[in-house]
Chain A
């Protein structure tokens, strides 16, 4: 049935957005994770990627979470000589995470998730209407 397909496609969107949310929460949780050893590298920001793929059993273009990449941008350096992870000059490297960007990403993921939920709700109501024909 075609309506079940629509729900399955929207569900693939839900899964992908939930996976993205997981990556974002990882970033936010590790926003202060510095290295364990002096002069070492701290936590590197992760980025979730999406790919559109053709699902052969559904005969439709669903979405899937692609490989999780790391953000190659520079770490934020801070002068903090007392810190256990500080190098010889007293500088420490902090993760390249900007909480503002993460919050924005989170909002976008939330919005897309809600849109997919909306599609599932509309499809469900359409199935209900089809079944209502039986009640004549």
Chain B
């Protein structure tokens, strides 16, 4: 079993993917802060119990001696098109303050996930007795 398949690591990895995806959506919002008729988007809050794996093709095994491929594909995160706080006369609903707040929160939560990930790796190292 590879390290990345351990429950704690696979969960943290999914969480980090979610933060990556959210960062991209937030970057879209900020760069389009002055585009007419642009509605900001966000990802739906992270819920590890309600993740839907993106349709991925399983690796075919044509011989019994083949190693089993990894079956966990990338997950699909839900987009949240919730209403904007205010919509300006040009039809743009991006609030820069709001977006900055989200970017900062995203960064901090990502930092927490990576810190937990390295702690997990440290635990394994301790178990191996190399320290």
Residues of A within 8 A of B (CB): 2-3, 5-7, 9-10, 12-13, 16-17, 20, 50-52, 60-63, 108-109, 111-112, 115-116, 118-119, 122-123, 125-126, 129-130, 132-133, 135-136
Contact = CB atoms under 8 A, between A and B. Distances in A.
A125 B20 CA distance: 12
Nearest to A5: B24
Interface string B115-131: 10110011001000000
Interface residues on B, range: 20 to 34
Contacts of B30: 10, 13, 112, 115-116, 118-119
Nearest to B36: A50
B32 A125 contact: no
12 contacts: A2-B17, A2-B23, A2-B24, A6-B23, A10-B30, A13-B27, A109-B34, A112-B30, A115-B99, A116-B30, A126-B106, A129-B110
A122 B23 contact: yes
Nearest to B122: A136
Contacts of B115: 129
Interface string B21-38: 101101110111111101
**Cβ-closest 9 pairs across A and B:** A13-B31, A2-B20, A9-B27, A6-B27, A129-B114, A50-B35, A122-B107, A136-B118, A136-B121
